[in-house]
Structure 1
Amino acid sequence: MNTIPQTILVVRRYTAALIILLLVCLTFQPVERRWAEAEVWLAGGTVVLLAVGAVLGVMTRRRPAFTVTDALVTVWFAFYAGMIWTDGGGYPCRTEFLHTVVVFLLYFSLRLLFGVAGMSAWMLVVCIIAGGCYEAVAGVEQMVNGTSRHSQYMLTGNFLNPGPYSAYLMMGLAVGLAAMREIGNRKVFGTMPSVVPGRIATMLKNTEWRHVLAVAVLIMAVVLPATWSRAAFVGLAVVALWIYRRHYRRYRFAVWGVLAVASIAFYLVKQGSADGRMIIWQAALTTWLDSPWLGVGTGGFCHAVAEGMARMHECGVDLSSAGVTDNAYNILLKTLVEQGVAGAVLAVALCVSAMISLYRSCRPLFYGMASLLIFSMFSYPFDLLPYKIIVVMTVAWSESSGGKALFAIGRIKTLLMAGMLAFTGKQIYGMVRESYEADSEYAIISGFHNEAFIEDYYELLPVMSDNAEFLFDFGKALNTARRYHDSNDVLRRGTMCSADPMFYVLTGNNYKEMRQYELAEQAYKKAFAVMPNRLYPLYRLMLLYKEQGRQDDCVITAYMIANFKEKVTSEATNEMKGNAWWIIKESEQVCPHGMVPSR
């Protein structure tokens, strides 16, 4: 009679281990800006995971517990989906919403599976450390062979740049350092076969797990500095100081000195980047103040940044370090701006609850997640699939092992819940696959602005309404076809999901072609206000005034261009300044406001 339970025990543990390995393998797949093939596999895989978890639950007759963290996940997701359902903000957010739903389904499918699997935390610990080593080796190979995924960087791993890539190394290091302290003096090998030579057998028998972990940590530590990621250094430093806090008091003055020097060095090395992110955050918060409780709406962060920049420009704030952003570089700030105080409080409560459970269940995993949370305050790891998978696996395991239970769910309710989530997952899988295929089709026509592709653009528009690059190409194609009203409609959609001033510039060009000069002037001025360290909007405004015969306004704008301190100097900026200089020279007017043009 004990054979069947023992068989079920073996099956469920091996099944859980296999699923974890498959999910970890997905974190090694190439990461794309919007949709990758791995995301399609994951969306389809959640349905399978729900079915497997339900079957194992019936076989083991275990009643899964619904924890505090589960409740917070459910409430937050209901709030998130409700805001989108009621069209809060009206921003296009199909891609972000689908990504979030897949993560939500993955979490509860793993909760169901881990709840009956009885799996050890060391499975996840080993996978994260091994993943960090794999990424480190892949980075070294890229440096040697020149196969980086970005032409400007030597190594990027499976990511598009070394910033998010460094988070995997940082996380592996944090978990590895904590695991070395937790594992103690445990031996790797207990007994050795007699066929193994004596000296080798002695060496292997004396090998401890911490020695293996030390080698893994060294591999990742050697590669991490090559990424030049300040966020990774900060995340790892904070966690390392906490892990070795017993030694902190003895060396506190040296630590303070090193931290002070490192902070100054990190800032000076990439001062423009640091100042630019501060401007992004300040601009987003400026717009958020209009609706602090519920936020601007999901998908509206970039639009909030653009509007905030325009207001800051009107107030005379120095925006010379600003740049066009596609990310918030701070997950808490993004949540606050898009979902308001209500959404931010739910997110923080969820994070605190999950981290408390994780601290009680497994310290190495806790430190790994802590480093990733710190990293997310300066970057965007939670926008990327690998880190979503790792976080969901870790939290789902923690809640299954030591989460604070609210009540137990019966087998019938569990099956009904699994069935409902599986049905939802099937629908989501179809939408994810549709989005992935649309991205693939757009890649074929990307950059082509010929009117022959207009019908193709219209077919893709319902699925690609939140793709700023697609909307700009589409608007430009309509401009080429002289369909200016249609072009402006598409470009207006682009301003809702992008902070790029070129959407306003192209809108101004359309109005100029339609001889609606007042609207063209407004569009050019808005483009300059959104990004006042760019010369091109002013140049287009100068040409507009020249075409209208508004000589005084044309000359004043030419003076502004001639004295402009652009963020990046190029042949194009030199040519625009040269044209402005000739307009000034031909005007033979006195320089207004005491400004002296310089060539």
Structure 2
Amino acid sequence: MNIIKRFIYTGMVSDLLVLAFIIAITVNYNNEANLAPLSLFMILQLGILWYFCRICMFLFPVISNYVIYTILLIGLIEAIWGLGQLYNFLPSKHFLFKTTGSFFNPGPYGGFIALMFPLALHFWLIYKKKNRILEYLFLAVGIVLLLVFPATLSRTAWIAAIIGCLLVVLFDTKAIAKLKNFKKQHPGKVISLAAIITVLFMGSIYGIFHLKKDSANGRLFMWKITALAIRESPVQGVGLGGFPAAYAQAQMDYFKSGIGSETEKQVAGSPEYAFNEYLRIFLEQGVLGGILFLLLTVFIIRSGIRNKQIGASGSFLTLSVFAFASYPYYLWEFLVMWVLLGSVCVSKTEKAHRKKKTKRNIYNFILFLIVLFACTLLCLKQLQLYSQAKKEWTKIRPLYNMRSYQSVMDGYAQLYPRLNHDQKFVFEYAVTLNAVKQHAKADSVLARGLQLSCDPMFYNVKGRNYHEMKKYKEAETCYLNSTYLLPERIYPYYLLTKLYADSANYQPQKMKRAAHAVLEKEPKVHSTAINEMRDEVKKILKSKEIEDEK
């Protein structure tokens, strides 16, 4: 038992779980489809970074302190950046939102700022009454974070920050022991206090939910559809990068069954993210991968508490809670933070470090570092190929935007083998092929797009491509799939109207039903495109009435 306890306490369990999780992802990855090569290489690099940090923190325990201070400094810079945007001193990264920091919208920015609160609180409590200068320094950091945090309007980040800070308070102030004593002395008051806290908590949740009700309903619906998708392949999962196609199929099946409510139809979308990383991991990696990741998360937080890395543990808990209703593990900034905070949590503090570092151990670690460095070079070499391809795409993309399809076709064809994992590139290439009348090849590229994305535009373009090939039944299937995926979208009904109005495929009753949907459905956002579609549908109906009279 002593050996097992020592094994757990040294963080080796977390190291093995990291290795097991990476192996599970790699083994489960569909190399033939190769849907997410960049994500796969990112995960391999993060694994290398994990073991690099673990070795460095073993050899030089003081490094863990520098890592935490560096993270907090980065957070402070982000907070100042956000304040600059809030008061119009710095430009925003998004044309709709003022405060985004270095991120593309305030959602992830709020999550990133939330990570810093437990660290700032931890150091403020540590230095309180011990070092006035440092106490006021970390208090100032917390104040700067608080100044910008409300502007992010991220409910998930608020909840995550509160939970992470609660962990810090419980273990840095000996609040647990005080609560136990209070419970013994005043059992009745504890019950009353617990009831009041429960009511306040439920009221807060209700208020937060209604703050952005449509957004909250949308996320709940996404979780529901993701759970239905998990049910289709619970053991093996769909593999890394398989979320969009699996989600799209589950949503189409759900609405096709006729059980979807009007509210669900209104909030349904074609998300790039599940807005719940744990559900996404269970969907892609199956039960084994999902359980491994949950165990890894629990062990890291537990190790952080045992190793007296309370600030890092609270920050890691904040990130883990934020992942319940956002998409941090799609962004490299959060993934790097996950590795840095996690490796600090499972590493002992310098004071607690007692393990002897023999020359043999040091030589072995140096050899291991050389191996990690070699693996990193291999990953970077592969990533450079993708990066170069993206640069070439950027150069010729303006011609695509000018609809000079013939000019970009050869360039896109050469880039396709290296960029066929990028849904935007695949869509542009498919549109280009359709425009130059290479319908068979366009169909193949669009099929690839449906593996990468749950955007109904792939079905719409695929249906249009079939229509031009005079494959009317296949075109109808694509358009109908688009309506099942997003029932409130008007565009596929407009395409169906044109399909049924085609003289070679004339179906008057179906045409009228589709036209009625175009004219009567209320769009989420009114635009000139909607008006143009409705005007054209009216002309089609009028011309068909004249033809029928003749």
TM-score normalised over the length of structure 1: 0.78
Counterpart of 2:66 (choices 115, 120, 123) is 123
Matching residue within 213, 218, 237 for 1:295: 237
CA distance in 2, matches of 1:341, 1:150: 37
Please tell me whether the aligned partners of residues 316 and 342 of structure 2 are also in contact (alpha carbons under 8 angstroms). no
In the alignment, is the contact (CA less than 8 A) between 1:135 and 1:169 conserved in 2? Answer: yes
After the TM superposition, which residues 362-441 of structure 1 pair with which residues of structure 2 at under 5 Å, given as runs? 362-401=309-348, 410=361, 413-441=364-392
**Counterpart among 440, 443, 453 of residue 488 in structure 1:** 443
- Contact preservation (8 Å) 1:298, 1:339: yes
Deviations 1:526-555 (A, max 9, x none): 111111121101110110000122112111
Tell me the equivalent position of 1:304: 246
Contact 1:283–1:307 (CA<8 Å) still a contact in 2? no
Letter in 1 for 2:532: E
234-243 vs 100-109, which moves further: 234-243
C-alpha RMSD of the superposition: 2.7
Specify whether residues 264 and 581 from structure 1 end up closer, same or farther in structure 2 by C-alpha distance, changes over 3 A only.
Answer: farther
Instruction: Pick the aligned partner of 1:276 from 218, 230, 253.
Output: 218
- Listed as ranges, the gaps of 5+ residues in structure 1 are 1-64, 188-206, 590-599
Alignment correspondent of 2:481: 526
Stretch deviating more after TM superposition (380-389 or 479-488): 380-389
The residue that corresponds to 1:73 in the other structure is: 18
- The verdict on how the C-alpha distance between 1:463 and 1:586 changes in structure 2, with shifts beyond 3 A counting, is closer
> How far apart are residue 163 of structure 1 and its match?
0.8
Letter in 1 for 2:379: I
1:329 and 2:275 correspond: yes
Whole-Å separation in 1 of the counterparts to 2:203 and 2:395: 49
1:106 to 49, 72, 76: 49
Q: Is the 8 A contact 1:521 1:544 kept in 2?
A: yes
* SS of match in other structure, 2:50: helix
Higher relative contact order (CA 8 A, sep 6+): 1
Q: Is the 8 A contact 2:118 2:168 kept in 1?
A: no
For residue 562 of structure 1, what is the aligned residue in structure 2? 519
- Per the alignment, in what secondary structure is the counterpart of residue 430 of structure 1? helix
SS at match of 1:327: coil
Alignment size in residue pairs? 503
SS at 2:418's partner residue?
coil
Is the 1:76–1:343 contact (alpha carbons within 8 Å) kept by the matching residues of 2? yes
Name the CA distance, whole Å, in 2 between partners of 1:404 and 1:537. 67
Distance in 1 between residues matched to 2:197 and 2:146, nearest whole Å: 19
Q: Are the equivalent residues in 2 in contact too, given 1:94–1:463 (CA < 8 A)?
A: no
Bigger drift between 159-168 and 380-389 goes to: 380-389
2: CA distance, partners of 1:282 / 1:443: 37
CA displacement 1:361-398 (0-9 Å, x = unmatched): 21111111111110111111122222222221222233
Report the Cα distance in structure 1 between the residues aligned to 2:91 and 2:193, rounded to whole angstroms.
Answer: 42
Output one character per residue of 1:409-466: Cα deviation in whole Å (capped at 9) or x when no partner.
Answer: 9456545533433222111111122222222222233361512212211222222122
* Partner Cα separation in structure 1 for residue 450 and residue 99 of structure 2: 33
Return 509-518 or 384-393, whichever deviates more: 384-393
Distance 2:83 2:509 in 1: 59
Counterpart of 2:157, as a letter, is A
Query: Secondary structure in 1 aligned to 2:150?
Result: helix
1:445 corresponding residue in structure 2: 396
2:464 equivalent in structure 1 = 509
TM-fit CA distance, 1:243: 4.3
Residue 597 of structure 1: aligned partner: none
What secondary structure, in the 3-state scheme, does the structure 2 residue paired with 1:289 have?
helix
Larger mean Cα displacement after TM superposition, 138-147 or 122-131: 122-131
Q: Does 1:471 align with 2:426?
A: yes
Give CA deviations for 1:246-277 in whole Å, capped at 9, x if unaligned.
Answer: 59969767655654444333322322222222
User: CA–CA distance in 2 between the matches of 1:366 and 1:394?
Assistant: 7
Secondary structure of residue in 1 paired with 2:489:
coil
Instruction: Provide Cα deviations, 1:156-197, integer angstroms capped at 9, x if missing partner.
Output: 11111111111221111122123222334222xxxxxxxxxx
Q: How does 1:450-461 map to 2 (within 5 A)?
A: 450-461=405-416
Q: 1:274-324: CA deviations, max 9, x gaps?
A: 222222222222222121011112101111111011011112213221122
Alpha-carbon distance in structure 1 between the residues aligned to 2:409 and 2:31: 31
Alpha carbons 1:83, 1:297 under 8 Å: kept:
yes
Question: How far apart, CA to CA, are the structure 2 residues paired with 1:574 and 1:228?
Answer: 34
1:149 matched to 2:90? The reply is: no
Distance 2:322 2:496 in 1: 41
Q: Specify the alignment match of 1:354 in structure 2.
A: 300
SS for the counterpart of 2:238 is coil
Further displaced range: 119-128 or 242-251:
242-251
2:126 corresponds to: 182
CA separation of 1:345/1:141 partners in 2, compared to 1, >3 Å: closer, same or farther? same
Counterpart-to-counterpart distance in 2, 1:66 and 1:234: 28
**Whole-angstrom CA distance in 2 between matches of 1:476 and 1:176:** 51
Q: 2:453 is paired with a residue of what secondary structure?
A: coil
Contact kept, 8 Å, 1:132 with 1:173, in 2: the verdict is: no
Change (3 A) 1:251 1:582: farther
Pair 356,469 (structure 1): closer, same or farther in 2 beyond 3 Å: same
CA distance in 2, matches of 1:97, 1:173: 31
* Corresponding residue number in structure 2 for 1:233: 158
User: Does the C-alpha gap of structure 1 residues 530 and 255 become closer, same or farther in structure 2, counting only changes over 3 Å?
Assistant: same
Q: Under a length normalisation based on structure 2, what TM-score does the superposition of the two structures give?
A: 0.85
State the distance in 1 between where 2:201 and 2:432 align: 52
Q: 2:115·2:315 contact (CA, 8 Å) conserved in 1?
A: yes
For the 8 Å contact 2:312–2:345, the answer to whether it is kept is no
2:531 alignment counterpart: 574
